[in-house]
Structures are given as C-alpha cells and as structure tokens.
Amino acid sequence: MRLRTLLATGAVAALTLQAGCAATPPPPISTIGELGAAYLDAGGACDDLVEQFRASDAEPVVAACGTDTELILATDAEQAQAVATQRQLQEQTVLVFDRWVIRDPELETIQQSLGGQIVTLAPADGPANMADAIAFDADGVVEADPVPADGDPAELPEASGVPDVLVAVDAGCEFCDRLLGSSGELLTALADDGAARVAYLPVSLGDSIENRYASTLGANALACVADGAPEGYRGFQTALLAQLQQQPFDAGAVSALASEHVPDDGAADIGACIADARFAWWVRQATVRAIEQPLQGVEPLRGVPSVLVDGRLYAGDVTDAAALEAFIAEG
C-alpha cells in the first residue's frame, strides 16, 4: 500500500511512504547502542557501526557503516521526522519511527521486526509551464508541457528578437530576495511591454533543518503556482522570498501567501500541492540539470542569484535595478 502524509509539523513535505508495522511493537529506544542492537536483531547486516562526531547534544546521534547504512537517533520524534525528510530530499530511502531513522539496503526486512514507515521521494512529472524555467513575454506566460519524471525539458522557442533573460533563484537565498525586491517590477515590466522575454528558474541549493528545507519546498511552492495559476507566479515569487528571509518554511504560511496571488477557485489545490510537496522530485532534477548542463548554452549554474541575458552573465550589484536594466538593454 502507498499513501501520502505530512511528515513534520507545519513545515516539511508530504512524500511517498510504504506502510508497514512490526508484529510486536519494539521497546522504546533511548541510546544509539540500543538502536544498533535492535538493527542487528532485526536482520541488519552491517555490524561495523561507527558513531559520528556531533557538535552539540542538540544534534541527532548518527552511527554509520560504509556508505549505505546509517542509524540516527534524534532528540525527539519531530527532529527524527525532519531528518527523514532531509534524507528523502537527497533521494535516499529511510525507515522512520518515533525518535529513530535507519537507512540500509534491507529496510523491508528490518521493518518486519521494528515496524515504522519506509519513506522515499517518488519520481513524478513536473509542473506545467516550467521547463525548467517559467517564461513571460508580451503575451503572458509561455506555455510549456510538464517535464516527464524520467525525461528532460523541451527547449523554449526563440525569444523573437528581444533580449532573452534568465533569472535563477533559490527561495531561501537572501541576495535572491534583494534582487527581486529591487528589480522584480522592472523584470515584470520588460516582459509585459514586450521589451524582453524573462524566465525564472527556481533551484534548491541551501536546504537545512534550520530553515525547514526552504530551498526545495520553496521551489516546490513556486512550481505549484506555476502549474495552477501562472499569472500569479511573479508576485508570489517576490513575496515568498521576502517571507523566507523572516521565518523558516511553513506550509500553512506559504499556502496563505499563495492565496493572496492566485484566484480563489485555485487556492485550495495549490495549498494542497504546497503541503504535499507535489513537485519535490522535479525540484531535485531541475537543480541537477542547472548545475550540470549549460544555461542558455553558456555554462552551468555557479551560484544564485544568476541573471543571464542572451548568454551573458550579469556581474553587477543585484540591488541596482538601473545597472541591471542597462545590462539587459545592451543585448
């Protein structure tokens, strides 16, 4: 059986799980030694577990064996769920229950004895209108089919004799927020007036437990709006980046923010999309493509924010809208 659920309170993605339980619930585990013994008793094969250094008692205890096995004992269940989500967003499959998380090639065998949930990030198609960037010109959104889970995005058509602008941002990035705060209206006006085609590429480079995976889940939220109400994308993007400089990612707060920028009849589905991280797989794949494949045929992404205009990388002050406008006009 496969189902969806919210993995951590108010902040973290709902990703794909495989349900399962032990015949007899295991006793509570309070030390990494107890977790190691339970793992071996449940059929775990890696018996050379080495406890890893941790900077403070507030961090989870981690014992690793080789590259494929990891036992994690968190301070509480909420931290364990946050760690499990982190591993999922790294495309790792884990078993999670109460305070502990296990990554191992034999999770189904271990689950039969210890119970818990096997959780994984399942492949899924991307959003409509983002391949991998969402583009705007004088006619509005440049429509694009969703990127298949196992495929690559189609090429955007030519920019029809106007500068072709690509803006790569990370939702959790302070300087990306500064760029949109200073030049967001300029970029919107250039596209709407037919003076440029402007595309936005959200990537995930700065996830952490502390920001509640604002990079990936923020990019997913942007993808949800692109898919369901693309006309609200630009306003939502600027507002979202500003919000995430003030607080960690919270699905409820982000959904409420999205509802301010999309039609009422689409807000509920977009909120559900944000809550269950519907496009988290696409975010991962789009980010990998951005850092491995040339953007605008020039070079892969080296950092955020990045603004390319017809293959030229803007190197000026991201808060100087006049300088950016002049750079775009040079194209």
Identify the band that residue 25 occupies on the pLDDT scale cut at 50, 70 and 90. Answer: low
Reading phi first (left if > 0) and then psi (alpha if -120 to 50, else beta), residue 148 is in: beta
Is residue 163 within 8 A of residue 213, CB to CB? The reply is no
152 and 213 housed in the same domain: yes
109 and 165 housed in the same domain: no
* Of 250, 257, 237, residue with least CA distance to 176: 237
What's the pLDDT at 28? 87
What's the pLDDT at 213? 94
173 and 293 housed in the same domain: yes
What would the mean pLDDT of 300-322 be, rounded to a whole number?
97
- C-alpha distances in Å from residue 328, one per residue of 17, 155, 233: 46, 22, 22
pLDDT in tens, 223-265: 999 999 999 999 999 999 999 999 999 999 999 999 999 999 8
pLDDT in tens, 55-91: 999 999 999 999 999 999 999 999 999 899 889 988 8
14 and 50 housed in the same domain: yes
Q: What is the mean pLDDT of the chain?
A: 91
Reading phi first (left if > 0) and then psi (alpha if -120 to 50, else beta), residue 167 is in: beta
102 and 206 housed in the same domain: no
179 and 293 housed in the same domain: yes
Q: Please give the helix or strand (H or E) that residue 322 lies within, else none.
A: helix 321-330
Residue 31 has pLDDT above 70, yes or no: yes
Range of the domain at 72: 2-120
167 and 109 housed in the same domain: no
Helix (H, G, I), strand (E, B) or coil at 320: coil
What's the pLDDT at 16? 53
Strands 306-309 and 312-313: antiparallel
- Distance from C-alpha of 78 to C-alpha of 310, rounded to nearest angstrom: 46
103 and 163 housed in the same domain: no
What's the pLDDT at 22? 56
- Residue where a domain terminates, one of 120, 145, 160: 120
- Residue where a domain terminates, one of 97, 120, 143: 120
Residue type, 104: D
196 and 305 housed in the same domain: yes
Instruction: Tell me if 268 is assigned to some domain.
Output: yes
Identify the band that residue 11 occupies on the pLDDT scale cut at 50, 70 and 90. Answer: very low
Please state the φ and ψ torsions of residue 95, each to the nearest 5 degrees: -110, 130
